[in-house]
Amino acid sequence: MIDSGTARTTSAIPERLCTLEEVSSVLAPNGPISVRCTSTTPDFRQTGGRRRMAFITTPHLLPRLRKSQHQNAVSKRRQIVANYLSPASFHINFDTASTNGNFGAVFFGQYLDPVSEYTTPQDVVVKCPIASDLGRQLYNMEKHTNVKLNSNFSTDQRFPEYIGELLIPRDVPVIQGISRLGLVWRKIGTGETLEDFITTSRITQLASILRVSGNMRPVRRELAAGVLRELCLIVRDLQLCGIVHRDIKPENILVVPNDSGGTPLKAIDFGSSCDWKTPFKKGLRLATCDPVYMAPEKRLDLFKPAYRFDVYSIGLIVLRCALPNLTESKALSDFVSNGLAKCRFSFERVCSAILSGRLPCSEAVRQDIKALTSPQYNDLYAVLATMLTEDPNDRANVDDCLRSRLLQSAFV
């Protein structure tokens, strides 16, 4: 038996109680050893006699390394085992983040893949998690999802192209509190998100990117239909891989005006995602959802349709694009907390309460709701009413939305 506190084991020692002679024959070539004998222990493999067992102290089996040498050795082994991208191929300043989030930092830079067809450095995005257990868990879930999506969709992706994982060397300065691990994507577009475009000044530009009509008053029906179609196609691709995003919001939707694949909207940030096709629903208990866009059930249920969680989030984004007086982020947040939350998260109920005067709101929002519920926009109101429901069993799924009268008439 080997003393775990003072000895280093070796694979040459059989996994059983050893005699002094057996231990000495194994360890003698590696240098001197000290043996401290204990009381006798019966050997049940032999009927006669007793053999003395020992605790072995072998301080010279392995050479002692300095701390820096040990860290470098560990770093090299991790790069080989985990197949990290070579840090020498990157040109990124890790002490200044391009954007910061609650659970990590994002850096822009360049990367030259030594084995690809690219001969010039490519623009990339590197996302590093915060140095905490939660940050690492979100990081691992995002890595799992991106690897799975990248293996299932090689072309015309509705999410950025995932390149790999980077281990930042210890001699490279990084922002305090940020881990030295990073996920790497090929940069597309300018980095602007849907949140940057859902403003009064840029809403017409968004309609042009989506190639829909610029008719903005009184309800942006065509723009809402364009956003609904693109987001539903994103979620449908995710669902084909068994992925539930759970944090769909304008900040997590990239806008790529001149995308070569014809997909101007792309989903990012899969840290809160869940792989519903894995046996134990990987990521099920790990989620950091936005309270405004989160579905009323707040968490996935094994006994309820999980894939409809994202549909509610899409419905709120479409509503924000459709109504001029809910365009600003704060206006939608107030509508959710003071309207939907008081009407059991049912869009049909909140519209009825506003129009009847039972639910107070601004006159501008009331006029928008009145226009939306008119016969002229009945197809838009109908799809929103089926998407924004409290019970996921009553909620429309992605295919229902793609087959809706709104999209059938807007994209003939």
How sure is the predictor about 156, in pLDDT bands with cuts at 50, 70 and 90?
low
Per-residue pLDDT at 345: 96
How sure is the predictor about 9, in pLDDT bands with cuts at 50, 70 and 90?
very low
Q: For the chain, give every domain's residue range.
A: 1-64, 67-186, 194-410
**Interior/surface letters 352-378, b for 16+ CB within 10 angstroms, e for the rest:** ebbeeeebebeeebbebbebbbeeebe
Query: What's the average model confidence in pLDDT over 182-186?
Result: 95
Answer yes or no: is pLDDT of 285 > 80.
Answer: yes
CA angle 327, 328, 330 (to 5 degrees): 135
How sure is the predictor about 19, in pLDDT bands with cuts at 50, 70 and 90?
low
How sure is the predictor about 392, in pLDDT bands with cuts at 50, 70 and 90?
very high
Better-scored residue on pLDDT, 82 or 396: 396
Answer yes or no: is pLDDT of 47 > 50.
Answer: no
Answer yes or no: is pLDDT of 110 > 80.
Answer: yes
Per-residue pLDDT at 119: 75
Answer yes or no: is pLDDT of 46 > 50.
Answer: no
Better-scored residue on pLDDT, 318 or 101: 318
**pLDDT digits 0-9 by tens, 33-43:** 444 444 444 44
Separation of CA 224 from chain center? 26
How sure is the predictor about 217, in pLDDT bands with cuts at 50, 70 and 90?
confident
> Is-contact 270 145, C-beta < 8 A?
yes
Answer yes or no: is pLDDT of 317 > 90.
Answer: yes
CATH number for the segment(s) 67-186: 3.30.200.20
Answer yes or no: is pLDDT of 58 > 50.
Answer: no
Q: Is 64 helix (H, G, I), strand (E, B) or coil?
A: coil
Per-residue pLDDT at 321: 95
Residues with Cβ within 8 Å of 148's Cβ and at least 6 positions away in sequence, in order, are 241, 243, 275
Whole-number mean pLDDT of the chain?
A: 83
Share of the chain above pLDDT 70, in %: 78
CATH number for the segment(s) 194-410: 1.10.510.10
**pLDDT digits 0-9 by tens, 198-213:** 987 899 999 999 999 8
**pLDDT digits 0-9 by tens, 70-79:** 555 555 544 4
Global pTM? 0.79
Lowest mean pLDDT, pick from 22-26, 223-227, 337-341, 360-364 = 22-26
> Is-contact 317 333, C-beta < 8 A?
no
Residues with Cβ within 8 Å of 149's Cβ and at least 6 positions away in sequence, in order, are 157, 159, 162, 237, 238, 241, 243, 270
Per-residue pLDDT at 3: 45
Q: How far apart are CA 366 and CA 355, in angstroms?
A: 7
